[in-house]
Structure formats: C-alpha cells, structure tokens
C-alpha cells in the first residue's frame, strides 16, 4: 500500500492538485482533500478490463481491428464524447482526420454559449490565482457555484492569506439569479452572500438592465424580474468601486434559449467597466471531464473548438450543423465512435448505427455496442495532461496504479493504424 | 547514408563563405568533411546553379502557447479562407493569420525554415507552449520564458533580495519551464495593469511594488548574463505602439549599462510625434543607437498590409489598442500572478497613414542598421504579419526598385514622412543568410545549427537563383532537416519532428525553500506539479530535448 500526495484531479475542472490518495493494488482511497465530485470519481473500482465485440470478450487487437473495419467504408462517421486527456485528443483528431469524421465534444452545446460570445465580441477574463489573490467582489450570475465546485470558496476565496487583500473574509459575494445551495459562500466571519434571486429565464433581462446601469443609462422601470432597479444600481456601483471585481457564470447553468447573448452581455459589462477606468474580469466556469482539453487540442490542431467535420479533407467548423446528436438522429451519420475516459455513466447517445465505445472501465449498456474497449482513466491509470476550467493551465496528471488498461491514445492510434 | 550536394553556390556566413561553389556531404544527419576513403555516395543532388544556405531560423514567432489558441478560436472566419487539405503524409488544418500547428510546421519548412522560437512562454502556460510546439512538425523549436510581471520576482525586488537570489529564481524558472532564454514584456506593466495602471513608463513605479521597469530590465539582464545564458535578455519594451515611444526605447538602450539586450519588434517602439498626425518615424535615431551600442541586438517586427491578429503578453497595451480591433472583437486576460495576454485582430491598411508609416519605419530600420549580425528578420508573427509573408519582405529588402514601387502606393502623407525612397541599400544574399541563419543561431546560442561546416546538423535549404527574390524564397527546391529531405519543390515530402532547444543554468536548490510556501499560499498549483519534466516533452516518442552549453562552458 502506498500513499501518493499532491495528486491533481482531471474531474472537477478546477485542477485541484492537493489530493492524497492511498493505493492498494488497484483500489484507490482519497485520504485528504477529496470532495463530492472528486472522491467518487477517483475511488470508482475497475470493472471490466477486456474488450468486447458484440458483447463477446475479444483481444485488444481484435477489437481495434473490428473498430477500423466498422469505420472503413463509412461516409460520415461521428466521434463523440471527446472526454479524454491531451494525448487521447491528439489521437482522436488524427483518426478523425483520416476517417473524415465529425468530432463533437459532449458538452459543446453548453460550451457554445461561451464560444459564440467569444467569437462574436471577445472578452476580458481572469484565472484562478488572480481571483484568489485579488478579487474583492465576486458577482455570481445564474450559477450555484458550490454545487459545481464544492471546494471553490474554501480554496480560492476564503484562503487564509491573499497577496493583495488585507483580509480575505472581507470579500463581497453577490449572487444574481440562482441562490446558493449551501453555506460555502458565507465568509469565515459569518458574512452571508447577498442574493438577488430571479428565474433563469429572466437573466437576459436582468443582465441587460445591469449593463445599462453600468453604462450610466437611466432606466424608467422600478424593477426587473422582481429585482428592484435600486438593487441592481447598487451592484453596478459596487462593480465600479471594486479593486478587482470578477463576474462569474457557469454556461451549463444558463440553460435558456440564446444564452450566448446573456454571456455576451456579461462580457460587455466587464469591458465597459474596464473602459470606464475600473479593473474587472470575467470568469466562465466549466470544463469538467476534459471539455477544455478537447477544445484546446482541437483548437491548435484545427483552428476551431471541438465541433468540426473532416469529411471534405480539411476541418470545417459549424457550431450548429455538426451537432452529433442531430447528425445521428436525422440519418446523416453512419457510424458512432464514443470516447469517454472519465465517466462510466456518460453513455453514448442511442443509435442503431454501428457503434464503437472507448470508455472508462465499468460502462454499462442496455445493448452492448459493436465494439467496446475499456480504457484507463487519465490521472489514475496513466500519466497525461488536462486543462483546467480557466483554460490557461494544463495540469500534469499522474499515474497512480498499474491497471493494465490501455490509454485512450493507444487504442485510438491502434484503430488509426488499422484503418 | 552518405549524401552529396554537388556544386551549389554556398552562402554560409558562419564560415565566412559568401557565394562560393562547393560540395557538401551529409551523413547520419550531420554535415561532414569530404570523405577521403573513397566510399560510395548513396545519394547525390546536382545543385549546380542553385543557392545553398543552412535552414532558416525564425528567432521570434508566436507559434506556441495559449494566446495563439485564443487567437485561433477567436477567428473562425479567417481560417475558413485558408483551409488546408490533408494528404497521404500531412495532416489537415488551416492557415493564414494564426495557422493550426501542423500547418505552421509544414509552411515554415516549405519556406526553408528549420527552427522557430516562441518568444512569450508564460511559465504557468509553458506546458501548453510545449504541447503546441510538440504538434508543430519538422522544425526545431524553443521558447523564451517570460518574467518581469510575475509577482514572485516583483516581491523579491521590493524586498531587496540580492542578485544571487534572483539569479537562482530565474534559473529555476527556466529549468522548470524548459526555455532557452528569458523574455520581458512591458517590464512590470502587465502586472501594473492588474492594479489598474494603464501605462507604465521606464522610470515609473508599479503602484503596489516599489520597482520600475528600468530596474526590472537591469536586474533580469544581469541575471541572464551572470547565469551564462547565451541569448541576451529578450525585451519587449515599454509603451508599445505609443507615439513618442522612441525616447523610451533610446532610454532603455542607454539604461541597460552595457549589458547584452535584445530589443524585439523594435518597429513598434520607434515612433516620434512630429508632423500633422503627431506620428513620425524614429527609425534613424533607433538605427543609430543600435549601430553605436554593440551590446544591443534587435528584430524588426515588420508590418505588412492585410489581415492579421496581434497576440501579445502585453495586455496593458493590447487593452489600450482594442479600439483598433478589426474585426471588432478582442480578448484580454490576467494570468495566474504570472503574466497576461491580449489578442486583438488587426488589418493593416496601406491607405491608413499610421499603418503605412509603420511599414516604412520597419524597412528604414532594416536598412539603416549596418550590422546584419545584430538585426533579425521578423514580422513578430502574427503581430506585424503572418510569417508566410517573409519572401515578400525579403524582396523589399533586396530590391530597391520593387521597394520604391510599393512605397509609391501607400498613403501619400506617409510617403512624405519617410526617407525610405532615398535609401539605396539592397540586402545581399549573404546578409539575408546572416540575419535569417548564422546570426540567428549565434544570438540564440544554438550549437551545431545555422552553419554548413562539418559537425553541424544538416539543416540545409536549396533555392533556384531568381532575380525576383520573392519567388526565389517562396519555394525552395530542397529542404533537408537533420539530413533528411523533407521538402522538394516547395512541398513537404517527409514529416519529421524537430528537437526542443533549451538551456539548463545551475541554481541553488534552496530557492525552493522560498518558492514552496509561495506556491502553497498564493498559487493554485503545487510546486512539484508546476515543474515540467523531461518525459513530458519526449514521452510521445517524437519529441526530444537538446540542451545547449552556457557561456564559458566547454
């Protein structure tokens, strides 16, 4: 039995790297700094280790050969999921390039809310260490932050010491929209977060009103979506007075039509504040299970984030057209390869098409796919790299145990070779 | 395999060879002397009538690191105009302003380049820089690690830590991030922007730290020299793009106390305030200062007209310039108490007075700096223009009548404000070989590269002589990388993987006693996880590290 310290997590998106993990054979136990997201993800036991072809045990070579055979004569295969590490994504894109596939990250429809805002007008954002040391005002829009990242407040806001704040407990936390589900946002001295609740669907109106107030426009309305304009004016004033305000949103939580316009409004509020002489930054929350990794690697390999089509021999990007779910359901696709090395419960979409699944050991299917190859999890079964939610930092994932499971990259490269 | 390159006209300034016809022999990836044992040549290339140079080296090009990927993600419309098909040996991708990594490698190689250096590797983002460069085929690569706006250094300086401690920190960072040099971007300015300072002059104090940009530059230039790092401190000066920044740049040159210093994209730092538009060329004074100060080297950062994207660590200046964004979208980031970045798309127009004069200023500097060993051909890709415009730039430098024809088409007021028409100099092939090969290898400290003498790696480019230098430099006949033929008639015929060039200066391990609690308390990553291990570069089987000796080392 050994204990490995300073273990980075690819699961939470925050790149937390202070976990201690006890390794006993192939059994893992988080002994320090776990949370409700990371601990179960690390501790999940290995189930199957043998590939299956149509439900029957097969060698890895037979399984990759069969997978190549299924892909060989396709016209529009789809590679979905894209939940893996950097090397896995590199191999995935090489295979997609060769097979003319659509590549589609499983959370692209969520990430798209940010990407469309970025690609239309850009943004001014910050990263975790800046937030940890500078942020004196955090405005959380439409998102239950602690449910998304249980240790966010503990690690990055209520840290004992910050380089540029006299007392981190004096940071001001404001929720706009969704109220927090727990008390993590209450400061160590008992100061509760200010909460201005409204329905998710009203956030576009509320954000627009706040934007107008930040610009100094007068509003005739007395309230918007049940929030008094005077309350929003107070937020605008606080944002202007802050040393380093941060506006945080989780795109996943903004589950309403044209949410990208609300993201854009938030980004423009940040820009307007900076233009008017105050420092302020945005902080988009997201990126669990390899989302940022997929977008980053696809970004440098193809120039586009991870929804591209290689059918014409070069990458084409369309944030709507190449939605794999649509392609599968309207008959445009003719094969599915599902890659999910982190989460055995993230099943492939249901389809009657030939299906290859490269996934974390233990994935259970209603009907076995044509090929299933259980792979190791990056950061547990093999070393690798994963991107953190703030996009800038790639963390070095450690190998914690010898499971004998191949990596996603090894399997996908073998399929590419066999193709 | 023994390869003979027969009868080419060789330009090898590192060996003092200026257009002599001679044979070159290659074996096991390296250039060798003519074998005397009479063993047979396995492959011969008849290069009679062709021009032979070593592979070109771009000493300042943004090809790896997060800001490039932000630029890519920001500009899908730019990529759509330049799709690149896959072939049986090359990957697909796209090009123009910020090409995908594979395409960048192919296109560099197809132009005869065999090494590229990323000048802005934020330590916290160094993994990404190496991963992107790791997916850039054929060319060798390396990076300059950015310091000077990182809170750890500024805290050390405010606390009056001695130079020795700072040297240890600089060396530690260089080892951890795996770079070959140290870069400063707007010294202290990226940090000052986080405290809401919007400009920072050379002698202006950071509002939080008790230090000025001049002190930061002196401290880091000393560290680089004392650690024996060959590449001089690589400096992106204060006040980029600001009319009148000529004075800051001259002051920066004077203020470095004779220490070696490389001023990058100096075109953007050579502006006066004369004339109706309060914007004028400072090229003559800058060139004179470079001519007179032998400790100074520079690359130009030439702008060329058309669409590009500017991607810089200097978010203070990028934020100030965002109103010129074209298309109108831009990104600024504060990054991890380490640095920042700003990405602003830009369209340089020949009928815009400022852009037209910027174009002329760059060319003036190229032509007025006398010593080609101390000035380097760059566009600060993609900031001044995409690197694919190099052959055009070479023609502008080598062909006065072409240059004057181009000059006649730009904004008329800019024509009046430049002395370009009166400059007669035309660069020679030997001078081009110096600034893109021999000089670049020397300034970076690359052992065994940038020269064609025996013992060097066989990075060799062969051109067909053509009085139209743009045509000539666009499409080499042959490019050899480490002795392998990788490009024929301007097209990739074999994909190889270059090495990553680094230096490994020594340091006192006790610096970690200060760094560890700093990481634990303030940063978001453990010290041990921050350091990039050798296997991260080499584990995929195609990357490798080449450590170069320090000054004074054997």
List phi, psi (to 5°) of B163: -60, -35
Q: Which of B72, B124, B333 sits opposite A125 (nearest CB)?
A: B333
Best A87, A137, A303, A307 member to test B by mutation, with max B CBs in 10 Å, is A303
pTM equals 0.97
Instruction: For chain A, give the percent of residues with pLDDT over 70.
Output: 100
pLDDT one-digit tens code per residue, B209-244? 999 999 999 999 999 999 999 999 999 999 999 999
Residue B333 to residue A160, Cβ atoms within 8 A: no
Residue burial B231-254, b: 16+ Cβ < 10 Å; e: rest: bbbbbbbbbbbbbebbbbbbbbbe
Residue B101 to residue A301, Cβ atoms within 8 A: yes
Residues 360-399 of B with CB under 8 A from A: none
CA-nearest residue to A90 within chain B is B135
Q: Which of B91, B325, B333 sits opposite A126 (nearest CB)?
A: B333
Q: Which of A127, A164, A278 sits opposite B335 (nearest CB)?
A: A127
Return the closest-CA partner of residue B332 out of A299, A111, A282: A282
Spatial separation of the C-alpha atoms in residues A314 and A307, rounded to whole Å = 13
pLDDT one-digit tens code per residue, A347-390? 999 999 999 999 999 999 999 999 999 999 999 999 999 999 98
- Residues 6+ positions from B36 with CB-CB distance below 8 Å: none
Instruction: For chain B, give the percent of residues with pLDDT over 70.
Output: 100
**Is the distance from CB of B186 to CB of B202 less than 8 angstroms?**
no
Residue B196 to residue A300, Cβ atoms within 8 A: no
What residues of A are in contact with residue B85 (Cβ under 8 Å)? 313-314
List phi, psi (to 5°) of A227: -105, 125
Predicted local confidence at residue B554, as pLDDT: 47
Token code pair at residue B135: 């997916």
Spatial separation of the C-alpha atoms in residues A32 and A37, rounded to whole Å = 14
What residues of A are in contact with residue B83 (Cβ under 8 Å)? 314-316
Q: In which band, very low, low, confident or very high, does the pLDDT at B540 lie, cut at 50, 70 and 90? A: confident
pLDDT score of B291 more than 60: yes
Which of A13-17, B281-285, B513-517 bottoms out in mean pLDDT, i.e. has the lowest? A13-17
Token code pair at residue B162: 């001695």
Residue A160 to residue B521, Cβ atoms within 8 A: yes
- Residues 6+ positions from A44 with CB-CB distance below 8 Å: A344, A360, A362
Residue A317 to residue B79, Cβ atoms within 8 A: yes
Is residue A391 within 8 angstroms of chain B, CB to CB? yes
pLDDT one-digit tens code per residue, A305-315? 999 999 999 99
Gap from A223 CA to chain B (nearest CA, Å): 32
Number of Cβ atoms within 10 Å of the Cβ of A284: 24
Q: Which of B86, B330, B523 sits opposite A129 (nearest CB)?
A: B523
Token code pair at residue A303: 């120039």
CA-nearest residue to B340 within chain A is A126
Residues 64-103 of B with CB under 8 A from A: 66, 68-69, 72-76, 79-80, 83-86, 91-94, 98-102
Residue B522 to residue A128, Cβ atoms within 8 A: no
Token code pair at residue B282: 């400072």
Residues 413-452 of B with CB under 8 A from A: none
Residue B540 to residue A97, Cβ atoms within 8 A: no
- Above 0.95 for ipTM, yes or no? yes
Residue A393 to residue B79, Cβ atoms within 8 A: no
Measured CA distances, A48 to A401, B80, B519 (Å): 16, 43, 40
**Is the distance from CB of B157 to CB of B188 less than 8 angstroms?**
no
Mean pLDDT taken over chain A: 97
Residues 264-303 of B with CB under 8 A from A: none
Predicted local confidence at residue A286, as pLDDT: 83
Predicted local confidence at residue B553, as pLDDT: 61
What residues of B are in contact with residue A103 (Cβ under 8 Å)? none
Residue A302 to residue B524, Cβ atoms within 8 A: no
Token code pair at residue B534: 């050798």
Dihedral angle computed from the Cα positions of residues A90, A300, B90 and B441, in that order, rounded to the nearest 10 degrees: -110
Q: Which of B328, B334, B526 sits opposite A6 (nearest CB)?
A: B526
pLDDT one-digit tens code per residue, A250-283? 999 999 999 999 999 999 999 999 999 999 999 9
Average pLDDT over residues B312-317: 96
Gap from B137 CA to chain A (nearest CA, Å): 12
Q: DSSP secondary-structure letter at A200?
A: G
Measured CA distances, A169 to A135, A218, B145, B518 (Å): 11, 34, 35, 20
CA-nearest residue to A17 within chain B is B525
Average pLDDT over residues A173-196: 97
Spatial separation of the C-alpha atoms in residues B403 and B424, rounded to whole Å = 10
Q: Which of B74, B335, B522 sits opposite A122 (nearest CB)?
A: B74
pLDDT score of B498 more than 50: yes
Measured CA distances, A206 to A197, A223, A395 (Å): 10, 9, 36
CA-nearest residue to A18 within chain B is B526
Gap from A392 CA to chain B (nearest CA, Å): 6
Residue A304 to residue B79, Cβ atoms within 8 A: yes
Q: In which band, very low, low, confident or very high, does the pLDDT at A289 lie, cut at 50, 70 and 90? A: confident
3-class state of residue B141 by DSSP: strand
Size of the A and B interface in Cβ pairs below 8 Å: 189
Average pLDDT over residues B130-152: 98
Is residue A155 within 8 angstroms of chain B, CB to CB? yes
Residues 11-40 of A with CB under 8 A from B: 15, 17-18
Residue B334 to residue A295, Cβ atoms within 8 A: no
Spatial separation of the C-alpha atoms in residues B390 and B83, rounded to whole Å = 20
Is residue B541 within 8 angstroms of chain A, CB to CB? no
pLDDT score of B520 more than 90: yes
Sign of the torsion angle spanned by Cα atoms B519, B521, B523, B528 = positive
Predicted local confidence at residue B38, as pLDDT: 86
pLDDT one-digit tens code per residue, A201-248? 999 999 999 999 999 999 999 999 999 999 999 999 999 999 999 999
Is residue B339 within 8 angstroms of chain A, CB to CB? no
Instruction: For chain B, give the percent of residues with pLDDT over 90.
Output: 98
Residue B337 to residue A133, Cβ atoms within 8 A: yes
**Which is it for strands B93-94 and B113-121: parallel, antiparallel or unpaired?**
unpaired
Residue B93 to residue A315, Cβ atoms within 8 A: yes
**Is the distance from CB of B202 to CB of B213 less than 8 angstroms?**
yes
pLDDT one-digit tens code per residue, B150-182? 999 999 999 999 999 999 999 999 999 999 999
**Is the distance from CB of B411 to CB of B353 less than 8 angstroms?**
yes
Token code pair at residue B235: 């400096």
Q: Which of A126, A299, A302 sits opposite B334 (nearest CB)?
A: A126
Q: Is B455 left (phi over 0), alpha (psi -120 to 50) or beta?
A: left
Residue B525 to residue A278, Cβ atoms within 8 A: no
Residue burial B164-179, b: 16+ Cβ < 10 Å; e: rest: ebbbbbbbbbbbbbbb
Spatial separation of the C-alpha atoms in residues B538 and A139, rounded to whole Å = 43
Is residue A302 within 8 angstroms of chain B, CB to CB? yes
Spatial separation of the C-alpha atoms in residues A34 and B290, rounded to whole Å = 57
Spatial separation of the C-alpha atoms in residues A263 and A275, rounded to whole Å = 18
């Amino acid at each position: 039995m050994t204990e490995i310290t300073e273990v980075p997590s690819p699961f939470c998106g925050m790149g937390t790297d202070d976990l201690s993990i006890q390794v006993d054979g192939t059994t893992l136990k988080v002994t320090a700094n776990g949370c409700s997201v990371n601990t179960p993800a690390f501790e999940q036991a290995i189930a199957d280790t043998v590939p299956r072809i149509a439900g029957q045990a097969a060698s890895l070579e037979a399984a990759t050969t069969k997978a190549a055979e299924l892909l060989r004569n396709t016209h529009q295969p789809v590679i979905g999921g894209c939940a893996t590490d950097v090397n896995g994504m590199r191999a995935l894109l090489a295979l997609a390039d060769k097979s003319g596939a659509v590549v589609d990250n499983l959370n692209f429809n969520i990430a798209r809310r940010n990407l469309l805002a970025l690609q239309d007008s850009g943004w001014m954002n910050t990263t975790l260490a800046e937030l940890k040391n500078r942020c004196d005002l955090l405005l959380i829009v439409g998102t239950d932050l602690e449910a998304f990242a249980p240790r966010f407040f503990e690690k990055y806001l209520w840290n004992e010491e910050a380089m540029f704040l006299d007392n981190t407990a004096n940071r001001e936390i404001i929720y706009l929209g969704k109220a927090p589900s727990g008390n993590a946002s209450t400061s160590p001295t008992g100061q509760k977060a200010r909460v201005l609740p409204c329905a998710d669907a009203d956030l576009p109106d509320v954000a627009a009103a706040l934007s107008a107030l930040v610009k100094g426009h007068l509003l005739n309305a007395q309230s918007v979506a049940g929030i008094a304009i005077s309350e929003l004016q107070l937020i605008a004033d606080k944002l202007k007075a802050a040393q380093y305000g941060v506006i945080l949103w989780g795109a996943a939580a903004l589950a309403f039509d044209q949410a990208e316009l609300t993201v854009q409004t938030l980004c423009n509020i940040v820009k307007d504040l900076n233009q008017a002489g105050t420092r302020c930054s945005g902080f988009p929350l997201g990126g669990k299970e390899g989302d940022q990794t997929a977008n980053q690697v696809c970004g440098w390999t193809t120039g586009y984030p991870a929804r591209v089509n290689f059918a014409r021999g070069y990458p084409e990007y369309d944030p709507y057209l190449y939605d794999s779910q649509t392609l599968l359901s309207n008959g445009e696709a003719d094969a599915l390869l599902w890659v999910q090395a982190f989460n055995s419960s993230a099943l492939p979409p249901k389809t009657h098409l030939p299906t290859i699944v490269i996934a974390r050991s233990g994935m259970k299917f209603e009907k076995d796919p044509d090929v299933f190859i259980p792979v190791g999890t990056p950061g547990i079964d093999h070393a690798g790299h994963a991107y953190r939610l703030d996009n800038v930092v790639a963390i070095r994932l450690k190998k914690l145990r010898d499971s004998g499971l191949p990596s996603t990259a090894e399997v996908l490269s073998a399929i590419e070779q066999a193709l | 395999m023994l390869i003979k390159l027969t009868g080419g006209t060789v330009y090898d300034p590192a060996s003092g060879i200026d257009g002599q016809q001679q044979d070159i022999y290659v074996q096991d990836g390296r250039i060798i002397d003519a074998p005397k044992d009479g063993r047979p040549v396995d492959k011969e290339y008849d290069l009679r009538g062709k021009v032979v140079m070593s592979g070109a080296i771009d000493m300042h090009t943004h090809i790896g690191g997060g800001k490039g990927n932000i630029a890519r993600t920001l500009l899908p419309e730019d990529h759509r105009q330049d799709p690149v098909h896959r072939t049986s040996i090359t990957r697909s991708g796209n090009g123009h302003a910020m090409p995908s990594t594979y395409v960048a490698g192919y296109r560099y190689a197809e132009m005869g380049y065999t090494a590229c250096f990323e000048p802005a590797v934020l330590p916290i983002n160094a993994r990404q820089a190496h991963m992107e460069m790791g997916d850039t085929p054929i060319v060798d690569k390396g990076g300059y690690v950015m310091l000077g706006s990182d809170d750890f250094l500024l805290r050390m300086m405010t606390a009056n830590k001695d130079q020795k401690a700072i040297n240890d920190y600089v060396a530690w960072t260089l080892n951890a991030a795996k770079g070959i040099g140290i870069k400063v971007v707007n010294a202290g300015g990226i940090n000052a922007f986080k405290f809401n300072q919007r400009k920072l002059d050379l002698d202006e104090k950071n509002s939080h730290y008790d230090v000025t940009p001049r002190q930061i530059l002196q401290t880091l230039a000393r560290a680089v020299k004392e650690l024996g790092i060959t590449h001089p401190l690589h400096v992106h000066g204060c006040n980029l793009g600001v009319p009148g920044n000529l004075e800051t740049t001259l002051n920066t040159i004077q203020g470095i106390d004779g220490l070696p210093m490389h001023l990058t994209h100096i075109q953007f730092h050579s502006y006066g305030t004369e004339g109706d538009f309060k914007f004028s060329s400072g090229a003559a004074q800058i060139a004179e200062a470079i001519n007179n100060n032998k400790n100074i080297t520079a690359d130009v950062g030439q702008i060329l007209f058309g669409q590009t994207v500017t991607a810089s660590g200097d978010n203070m200046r990028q934020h100030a310039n965002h109103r010129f964004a074209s298309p109108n979208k831009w990104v600024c980031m504060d990054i991890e108490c380490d640095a920042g970045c700003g990405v602003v798309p830009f369209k340089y127009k020949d009928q815009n007075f400022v852009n037209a004069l910027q174009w002329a200023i760059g060319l003036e500097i190229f032509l007025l700096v006398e010593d080609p060993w101390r000035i380097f051909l760059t566009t600060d890709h993609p900031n001044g223009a995409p690197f694919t415009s190099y052959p055009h730039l070479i023609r502008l430098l080598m062909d006065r009548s072409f240059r004057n024809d181009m000059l006649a088409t730009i904004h008329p007021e800019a024509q009046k404000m430049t002395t370009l028409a009166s400059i007669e100099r035309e660069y020679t092939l030997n001078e081009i070989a110096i600034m893109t090969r021999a000089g670049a290898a020397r300034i970076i400290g690359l052992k065994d590269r940038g020269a064609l003498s025996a013992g060097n790696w066989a990075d060799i480019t062969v051109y067909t002589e053509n009085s139209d230098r743009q045509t000539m430099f666009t499409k080499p006949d042959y490019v050899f990388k480490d002795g392998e033929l990788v490009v024929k008639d301007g097209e990739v015929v074999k994909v190889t993987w270059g090495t990553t060039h680094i230096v490994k200066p020594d340091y006192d391990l006790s610096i970690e006693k200060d760094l560890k609690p700093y990481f634990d308390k303030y940063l978001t990553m453990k010290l041990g996880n921050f350091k990039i291990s050798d296997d991260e570069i080499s584990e995929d089987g195609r990357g490798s590290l080449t450590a170069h000796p320090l000054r004074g080392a054997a």
